[in-house]
Structure 1
């Protein structure tokens, strides 16, 4: 199952679902039918019957959350702390002088240089998004731009052009 945030359930959400399964187990122990449990907790009947079968086989422990799915990330929590401070230093510190923008490829290269672990641009983006970073696109303006001339043009010339 895919989730809109791209990361599955949070620890809090997993704990909440686990509590629901434990409450369902209490009802199963009292002899309540899985169909009634499904209605009470607003879950599918299929889920309720699956919980009942797992509860009968292994008790309440069989309904315990299995934790995160998939492989654990190779990006260690301590590395994330280091990585959070690096963009503030700028690309020049890491050897890019021609262009002062961070790209996913550059961030991936900085991580690879420091920790000897390679991440694809897609994985690098997932890591940065989990850390709270967002896409920032610089405004494309000429270095020679004269702001006073632009504001004067907007005030005087644009109203005449707009009338047509």
Structure 2
């Protein structure tokens, strides 16, 4: 069943629930009734009962952490950020555009850890970087000429509403 995506688990509350169930089980309450009282599925109570028999109350204590241990240390993340600020040209790429593949390559070069490009973008978001698309602009573009044209020439050629004489109307009746 698992946890809905993005919802953090409260490990203390989960441990409290398991310990409450263990107490009820030790008092001789049936597993189905324990499940109803604690608010969990009967299979969870069955699993807890097995753990209680095999390892005692210690087996029902909370886990130290959830999920796989991170492969990158905080100092690795700082090195990656420095590499990102240097730009992709520092890795030998011709353009200054970071792609998922390039970021994954940077992580492998800096930290010796190989990641899929999707995971590389997750690491970027963790570092506070966002996905941005560069504006496509011509190399010959002259910003001063463009600004002058917008200020001087554009107002001259821009259509202006004409002086309105009589309001126009049309008949919607069929003759």
Structure 1 or 2: more helix by fraction: 1
Q: Larger Cα Rg: Structure 1 or Structure 2?
A: 2
Match of residue 82 from structure 1: 79
Question: Contact 2:76/2:110 (CA < 8 Å) preserved in 1?
Answer: no
Give secondary structure in 1 for the equivalent of 2:10: helix
Give secondary structure in 1 for the equivalent of 2:115: coil
Structure-to-structure mapping, 1:1-164, within 5 angstroms: 1=2, 4-5=5-6, 13-66=10-63, 67-70=65-68, 72-96=69-93, 98-129=94-125, 131-133=126-128, 135-138=130-133, 140-143=135-138, 144=141, 146=146, 149=150
How does the TM-score come out when normalised to structure 1? Answer: 0.66
Structure 1 CA distance, aligned partners of 2:90 and 2:41? 55
How does the TM-score come out when normalised to structure 2? Answer: 0.62
Residues 95 and 15 of structure 1, relative CA distance in 2, 3 Å threshold: farther
Cα offset for 1:34?
2.1
Tell me whether 140-149 or 17-26 shows the greater mean CA deviation.
140-149
Report runs of 4+ in structure 1 exceeding 6 Å deviation.
none
Gaps of 5+ in 2: 162-175
Cα offset for 1:78?
2.4
Residues 126 and 142 of structure 1, relative CA distance in 2, 3 Å threshold: closer
Gaps of 5+ in 1: 160-164
Structure 1 CA distance, aligned partners of 2:45 and 2:124? 37
Deviation per CA, 1:65-100, whole angstroms, max 9, x where unpaired?
Answer: 454445x4432332123223432343344443x422
Number of residue pairs aligned between Structure 1 and Structure 2: 148
